[in-house]
Structure 1
Amino acid sequence: MSGADPQTTQWNPTPILDERLLREQRDRFSLVILNQPIHNIPLFLDLWKRATVRIAADGGANRVRAIRADLPPAGPPLDFIVGDLDSLRSETRAWFLQQPGLGPAGRQQQIIEIEDQDSTDFAKAVKHARELSQKRARGRPSAGSSHDQVEDIICYSGLGGRVDQAMSQLHHLYMFQQRRGPSDVTSNESAETEARERPENGDGHASGRMYLTNGESLTFVLLAGRHAIRIRDKLDVHEDAPIPTNIKAEEASRPESKPNVFGKHVGIIPLAGPSLLTTRGLEWDVRDWRTEFGGRMSTSNHTTPGSDVVEVETSRDVLFTIDIPVLV
């Protein structure tokens, strides 16, 4: 990670978990809720209130209704239910139609049934989120700026329940973010199916970044290249924030005493075959370290108290995952 370095992709996911770290920057993202129990409800509610739009992937609406007592009474409401609707319960549909604002007829139009069995409810919901994002971008005065057109997507309640569903969610997370053109479709793949599954074809992060969280970890795709991931922010300690009574003032300034947005556990998982990893900012850093399924795997590594940024250079696309302190 020295010498003539390639261009570094900058990541700062800390504002996802703590709105105070935005520093008055824009904060536009779609929230897609998957069909798994919702954990870390304080985090979920914070994202719910801040999201530009809230979309349940089919049975994800059942999960939202299950915590309806925790939702803010004054809104915002769940905006859309998208999928083949085979998991949508009748009581959830009735609850959704009774939400204030548009009336039952208007709400009915926001239940979008897509019977295509070649794409998952996850893919359908993400595609709808991207389409809505593009429409909003065209209507903004700053639509000429590609940076301002981009909206991220946060998918909530992933990686729980059945192993095959968890693997499918990781597959789709990668599929939505990888760089891939039409020439990469194999003879066994249908171009029509590819178009349905992938909201955009091969643009990497150009249409926005995508994060998957179950409230206990945050996972996203690092494309081949070099990345700098901010895991701790200087504003993690606010000047006007009171020092906890069990911490002395002189101790509060120590790095190890700072409240962290993220936990310490990190994993870097190969996606597209064997990869060579070089890292900086972890307890067990590596250099040109080969990782692959069936070989060595970088799991349960740790961040260090003195590192606010983790650097990762990878020869092929990988998953980066870091744990989140669960709020109670």
Structure 2
Amino acid sequence: MDQEAEVIENPDNLEVVAPEDAHVIEPLIFKDREVGNSSLIVLNQEIHSIDLEGLWRNTKLHICADGGANRLFEYWKKHQRTEEFVPDFIVGDLDSLKADVQQFYEQHGCIVIPQYTQYASDFMKSMRLSMIYFQSETTRGLLYEPIESNKGLEFIQLEPAQVSVDMYILNGLGGRFDQTVHSINQVIQLAQQFVQNSFRFITPDDIVFLLRKGVNYIKYPSKQSFGCQGNPVCGMLPLNTEVVLNTRGLKWDVLHWPSSMGGHVSSSNALVGISGAVIECSNDMIINIEHSFN
């Protein structure tokens, strides 16, 4: 017999203990120190209202997806610091990349990898490049050799068990709605195959990432670390399939709570756990947490 769903309103501060078997997620780790196998992927939208320098310094690999290189160049040109922040790679079909931007970055050591296939987005090509880079020294070395220009990256074999990368995605959300949904869908697809990877969309307003099926513990130094006034607002979004939720550390905790598009969705909730919150979900799902760089 199904257990009855419950909603529990909590006080604004709650001590939450991390379960021993939880999948630990630290969404703000990039603000404190360099992340191990980590990449920053810059997509083709205007950059504003974030600590790009801090994000850059604390990630190891920097990739621009086609026209994302133009956005990066324009951003640092305004600050007269273009030579300090040169991406390691530019990848894509290159239909948006400006010739002068390409020339500048190539002259400063950036590798440009044309991949003209239209059966993968420039974002997906960037994520694949990131995994190739961190899988092994052997596969990394292939990125510095000539690569077939249609879909050569697809010919470099990836072993899911050997790939573990924290990917930070800048400008992946916003703009046209279909592109936003497509970006999230690509992350969901990739996460199903490469389960050891993590993906975080960074926007001026929030951090968006994937919760894995099972028990997740979202760990943070304090609620104030999110840079918001009051408790950081969050939403749990079952974009893939129906999910049953059990939570501890939210303003409105839920127990045995079914959530789906067209059904119940927990939006405009908030973190009240002092240094963490537990979210158990029956399937993978997306969460966004309010965050400000100001």
TM-score range, shorter chain: 0.7 to 0.9
| Secondary structure of 1:219's aligned partner | strand
Shift of 1:285: 0.8
- What do the CA deviations read for 1:88-130 (whole angstroms, capped 9, x no partner)? 122322332343xx4xxxx4xx111111111000000110111
Q: 1:50 aligns with which of 43, 58, 72?
A: 58
Distance of 1:136 and 1:147 partners within structure 2: 16
Question: Residue 35 in 1 paired to residue 24 in 2?
Answer: no
C-alpha distance in structure 2 between counterparts of 1:138 and 1:82, whole Å = 16
Equivalence map 1:134-149=2 (5 Å) = 134-136=135-137
1:12 Cα deviation after fit:
1.5
Structure 2 letter corresponding to 1:113: P
TM-score after normalising by structure 1: 0.70
Number of the residue aligned with 1:275 = 243
Kept in 2: contact 1:80–1:112 (CA 8 A)? yes
1:85-164 maps to which residues of 2 (within 5 A)?
85-99=94-108, 102=109, 107=110, 110-136=111-137, 150-164=164-178
Q: Distance in 1 between matches of 2:206 and 2:187?
A: 15
Q: Please give the secondary structure, in 1, of the residue aligned with 2:201.
A: strand
Alignment correspondent of 1:261:
226
CA contact (8 A) 1:38 1:214 kept: no
Q: Which residue of 1 aligns with 2:30?
A: 16
User: 2:252·2:270 contact (CA, 8 Å) conserved in 1?
Assistant: yes
Query: What is the deviation of 1:76?
Result: 4.3
User: Which structure has the highest strand share of the two?
Assistant: 2
- Determine if contact 1:281/1:310 at 8 Å carries over to the other structure: yes
Contact 1:56-1:80 within 8 A present in 2 as well: yes
Q: Structure 1 vs Structure 2: percent identity of aligned residues? A: 29
- Matched AA of 2:225: N
C-alpha contact (below 8 Å) 2:37/2:134 kept by paired residues: no
CA displacement at 1:284 relative to structure 2: 0.8
Check conservation: 2:211, 2:287, Cα contact below 8 A.
Answer: yes
CA contact (8 A) 2:168 2:200 kept: yes
Which runs of structure 1 show a deviation greater than 4 angstroms over 4 or more consecutive aligned residues?
71-74, 136-139, 146-149
* 1:272–1:148 distance in 2 versus 1, CA, 3 Å: closer
Question: How far 1:60 moved relative to its partner?
Answer: 0.6
Residues 6/326 of structure 1: CA separation in 2 closer, same or farther (3 Å cut): closer
Residue 250 (structure 1) aligns with: none
Q: Which runs of 5+ in 2 are unaligned?
A: 1-18, 141-159
Q: CA RMSD in A?
A: 2.6
Could you say which structure has the larger radius of gyration? 1
CA deviation map 1:3-49 (0-9, x unaligned)? xx893111122222333xx7xxx6331111011111224x2211112
Unpaired runs of 5+ residues, structure 1, are: 140-145, 179-201, 237-257
What does residue 198 of structure 1 align with? none
Q: What corresponds to 1:303 in structure 2?
A: 271
Partner Cα distance (1:270, 1:119) in 2: 24
Equivalence for 2:208: 219
Output the TM-score relative to the length of structure 2: 0.78
Does the aligned pair in 1 maintain the 2:40–2:61 contact within 8 Å?
A: yes
Could you tell me which of 283, 287, 290 is aligned with 1:320?
A: 287
Residue 94 of structure 1 aligns to a residue whose secondary structure is: helix
Higher relative contact order (CA 8 A, sep 6+): 2
SS of 1:307's equivalent in the other structure is coil
The one-letter amino acid of 1:297's match is V
* Residue 21 of structure 2: aligned partner: 7
1:228-243, aligned counterparts within 5 Å? Answer: 228-230=217-219, 232-233=220-221
Contact persistence 1:16–1:47 (CA under 8 A): yes
